[in-house]
Amino acid sequence: MYIIYILAGLGAGVVTGLAGLSAAVVITPLLVSVCGWASYDAVTVALASDVLASLLSAYTYYKNKNIDIKRGMLVTITAFLGTVVGSYCGYLFSQSQPDGLGYLSMLTTIFLGIKFLIKPITGGKESAAEESEKEGRNKTILAMVLGCFIGWVCGFTGSGGGILMLTVFTVVLGYNLKIAVGTSTMIMSIVALTGTVSHVSMGAVIQPIPMLVVVLSCLFGAWVSARFANRCEIKKLNRVVGVVLLILGVSTILLKVFG
């Protein structure tokens, strides 16, 4: 079983380091379908893993001056509030549908895999768009509103937050891919921490040793993949991650249904 924990952590770290995805798109489906964990508990471990993996990725981008701290912190505030509410909603949902969060995470994994294959994120604009003061303020407000929704999604399902946040910074704010990934991973590390604390306070069952194995494996995977990410052509990365997520999502659902 510990082999599965290590593989789940490594796989989650790789997709986080390469594409800024939430660790939950790998960890939650594997823990639920293969290890038989309760969905709410699996989401808690995934969020805990996301904290360090996202923080490590964000630090890498920060060293290269690819984080917008000012706007990022504003979005973080609303994402924080959304995560707390989402965690509570996820708890209520898990009581009536114990396997619901797990299936939602599996379907999210498939969706993300298809998206990366069909419509990869190749970079957006060269830099943050030149804006008037009013335009910049309106975009920031919109980003904060969307951040609240993304926080709710992250707290509820434990997945999808990273890619949604990345979309906000590339489409709404017009950032290039590096600034978008750097800023979104900074936010996701804080959102994931909030989600973890909320889940634990609401009764998630923690298995310390398995959780530690997953978290450390995830951190190592993120560290290794982040070092090589900038050496790879972005379209190739999209295809590789897309195929991996698609296979993972389909296989975990089949294991859950027929296992």
Instruction: Report d(CA 175, CA 170) in Å as an integer.
Output: 5
- Angstrom CA distances, 172 to 6, 85, 108, 147, 164, stand at 37, 24, 22, 11, 11
**Range with the poorest average pLDDT among 2-6, 155-159, 166-170, 222-226:** 155-159
Residue range 244-249: mean pLDDT, rounded? 79
- Quick one: 119 exposed, middle or buried, by C-beta within 10 A (0-12, 13-18, 19+)? exposed
Instruction: Say what the pLDDT of residue 101 is.
Output: 57
Q: How far is the C-alpha of 249 from the C-alpha of 187, rounded, in Å?
A: 25
Residue 117 has pLDDT above 80, yes or no: yes
13 and 223 Cβ atoms separated by less than 8 Å: yes
Q: Residue 192's pLDDT is what?
A: 83
Taking each helix axis as running N to C, give the angle between helix 133-157 and helix 69-96, from 0 to 180 degrees, rounded to the nearest 10: 30
Start-to-end C-alpha separation, the chain: 15
pLDDT at 135 over 60: yes
pLDDT at 129: 47
Q: What is the mean pLDDT of the chain?
A: 79
d(CA 238, CA 39): 28
Q: How many Å apart are CA 162 and CA 165, to the nearest integer?
A: 5
Q: How many Cβ atoms from other residues are within 10 Å of residue 7's Cβ?
A: 16
Say which range, 72-81, 94-103, 173-182, has the weakest mean pLDDT: 94-103
- Residue 217 has a pLDDT of 96
Closest by CA position to 61, among listed 184, 232, 207, 242: 184
Rounded to an integer, what distance in angstroms lies between the CA atom of residue 74 and that of residue 69?
A: 9
pLDDT of residue 100: 57
pLDDT tier for residue 126 given thresholds of 50, 70 and 90: very low
**Other CB atoms within 10 A of residue 141 CB:** 12
Cβ-contact 9, 139 below 8 angstroms: no
Q: How confident is the model at residue 104 (pLDDT cuts 50, 70, 90)?
A: low
**Domain residue spans of the chain:** 2-258
> Is 198:177 a contact under the CB 8 Å cutoff?
no
Which residue did the predictor score with more confidence, 171 or 104? 171
- pLDDT, tens only, 59-94: 887 887 778 888 888 888 898 888 888 877 876 766
Q: Which amino acid is at 17?
A: G
Average pLDDT over residues 234-248: 80
Pinpoint the alpha helices (H) of 34-68: 39-63
Phi, psi of 133 (to 5 degrees): -60, -45
Counting runs of H as helices and runs of E as strands, what totals does the chain give? 10, 0
